[in-house]
Amino acid sequence: MSNTRNILEYLEKTARRLPDKVAFVCEEDRITFSQLRRRAASYGMQIAKDAGFQTRRPVCVIGERDINALVCMLACVYSGNFYVLVDSSLPRARIEKMLEVVDFIGAVSCSKERYENDRLLFSDVYETDAGSSAAVACTQEEVDRFVADRLAKSCSFDPLYGIFTSGTTGDPKLVVKSHSSLAGFIDMFTEMFGFEESDVLGNQFPFYFDASTKDLFCCLKCGLTVHIIPKKYFSFPQYLINYLIDQKITKIIWVPSALSLVANTDSLRNFGIPETLTKVFFVGEQMPVKQLNYWKNLMPQVEFINIYGATETAGNFLYYIYDKILPDDRRLPTGIPFPDTKVFLLKEDGTLVQNTGEMGEICVVSNTLSLGYYGKPEMTGEVFVQNPFSAYREIMYKTGDLATYDEDGNIVWASRKDFQIKHMGYRIELSEIEITLGAIPEIGECCCVYDEEKKKIFFYYQAERDLKKEIGKQVREKLPKYMFPSKYILLDALPHNANGKIDRKKLAAM
């Protein structure tokens, strides 16, 4: 367990230790640790006043992937409440829906295009420019006193932030995470992988996506600098590589698709090797081994680490260090549990998977579990359950992901329970088809979609030319007949959702 009771202790300490060091860089904008602390704390005090000094309640931050959003997120925490970041570029109707499903005590709008909602908007705390009224309304002494009081009254199990995740019913659910679960994870993660003050992170994940909290809180804890890499660079690999080189980025935590973009365009050869990189983490979807080998071959000194978690846990709970090269058509192992964490595979009959190759649902017991779904105790109770193998109270989270063990004891992710389809009487993992066919050298990205109505498997792939023959050959040689896709569809590119993952819904609608 972490001895950090409130995550703000990270920022309080770092701002005293390294006041003038740059914490975040976002294009032309940058902010030092002391500026970040001063702004967030004084806006936090303003929010607390606006909220009538309520605590432990949700506050909505409507913002973009920029420094203003970060300031406002932390301001909510200073106010004694917890933040929920909503992407300001979402359609208005979607934002309204999110504001409806949770009883927010207020909202802070901090994007360039201000979102107005009279019912919810707090006073002018969203004016995050240095000279704003909120910042000058109170003296440094008042702010310090306010912060000391807040920290003294806080509990380690208080909520820190909430994150929306789509429910199967279509209504968004809000997962809430505590200070102690996040601090526990960040302390462990930074120690295991040697995050230091001298590190420079290159952020790819938007802040409303859970994986970004590693960038944010590693920064506050270690006093390292985070570069918020502009989104458009992830469409233009030359800019991306130059950015990594010019800014001397040392560690990146990215979605596999972003790493695949670099591999598929041969950008390390075309534009140069970012020599300062020491560690590359990938999370959020399955990393294809072919593209990983491209990176590993050209940058053998770099450590490549697969990490796995769920929105319902703080941070990750499985990891795999890619130290021996695997063949291109192999599935990358998801890995072994982090320290202080129990992970097991539960079969449908309620027993544990013992043998290699048997499949079960990934279940986890850890201090880093989230607090469940906000305002939805039944839904929470369905997936956060008593560990049936324990005679005392021990809560485990059932991920809904299926996996097996390999010969080395690694857990190997197979699919979402929902992606496991029944086709011609067989249970099929669509990801198995993707991995097998994705190994064809000329194929970039690929994805399988099952059409429930027509009972057909569609295989979408990205390549320079039509590969019908090559795919057909691979299908015949490597897959059982019931797994044969009924159609191969060549695309110029696969669609991606806002988090950078392949957008299966969009493909299904094509």
Which residues of the shown chain bind another protein in the complex (CB under 8 A)? 231-232, 234-239, 261, 265-267, 270, 492-496
> Which of 311, 225, 233, 326 is closest to 276 using CA atoms?
225
Nearer to another protein, 76 or 446 (CB): 446
Q: Which residues sit opposite 402 in a β-bridge? A: 361, 415
Nearer to another protein, 199 or 445 (CB): 445
- Residue 227 CB, shortest distance to another protein, in Å, is 18
Nearer to another protein, 238 or 390 (CB): 238
Nearer to another protein, 238 or 351 (CB): 238
Contact 364, 334 (CB under 8 A): no
- Residue 89 CB, shortest distance to another protein, in Å, is 8
Could you give the angle at which helices 33-50 and 67-78 cross, rounded to 10 degrees? 50
In angstroms, rounded to a whole number, what is the distance separating the alpha carbons of residues 203 and 231? 10
- Residue 254 CB, shortest distance to another protein, in Å, is 14
- Residue 87 CB, shortest distance to another protein, in Å, is 12
- Residue 500 CB, shortest distance to another protein, in Å, is 9
Q: In angstroms, what is the C-alpha Rg of the chain?
A: 23
Contact 491, 461 (CB under 8 A): yes
Cα separation values, 78 from 45, 152, 216, 399, Å: 7, 12, 16, 32
Nearer to another protein, 414 or 463 (CB): 463
What is the 8-class DSSP label of residue 451? E
Contacts of 80 (CB under 8 A, 6+ apart): 48, 53, 54, 55, 56, 150, 153, 154
Nearer to another protein, 1 or 498 (CB): 498
Nearer to another protein, 215 or 445 (CB): 445
Give ∠ CA 26-283-340 in degrees, rounded to 5. 110
Helices (H), 103-236: 133-136, 140-153, 179-192, 212-222
Q: What six digits make up the tokens of 12?
A: 């309080």
- Residue 448 CB, shortest distance to another protein, in Å, is 18
How far the first Cα of the chain sits from its last, in Å, is: 48
Q: What six digits make up the tokens of 394?
A: 């021990």
Write the burial class of residue 15 (CB in 10 Å: 0-12 exposed, 13-18 middle, 19+ buried). buried
Q: What DSSP letter does each residue of 30-52 carry, written as one string?
A: EEEHHHHHHHHHHHHHHHHHHTT
What is the CA 172 to chain-centroid distance, rounded?
Answer: 17
- Residue 269 CB, shortest distance to another protein, in Å, is 10
- Residue 266 CB, shortest distance to another protein, in Å, is 7
For 96, the enclosing helix (H) or strand (E) is helix 92-101
Could you give the angle at which helices 212-222 and 8-17 cross, rounded to 10 degrees? 40
- Residue 503 CB, shortest distance to another protein, in Å, is 9
Nearer to another protein, 139 or 238 (CB): 238
Nearer to another protein, 206 or 309 (CB): 206
Q: What six digits make up the tokens of 440?
A: 């064809």
Nearer to another protein, 64 or 158 (CB): 64
- Residue 332 CB, shortest distance to another protein, in Å, is 23
In angstroms, rounded to a whole number, what is the distance separating the alpha carbons of residues 32 and 34? 6
In angstroms, rounded to a whole number, what is the distance separating the alpha carbons of residues 302 and 273? 11
In angstroms, rounded to a whole number, what is the distance separating the alpha carbons of residues 8 and 6? 5
For 108, the enclosing helix (H) or strand (E) is strand 106-109
- Residue 261 CB, shortest distance to another protein, in Å, is 8
Nearer to another protein, 55 or 265 (CB): 265
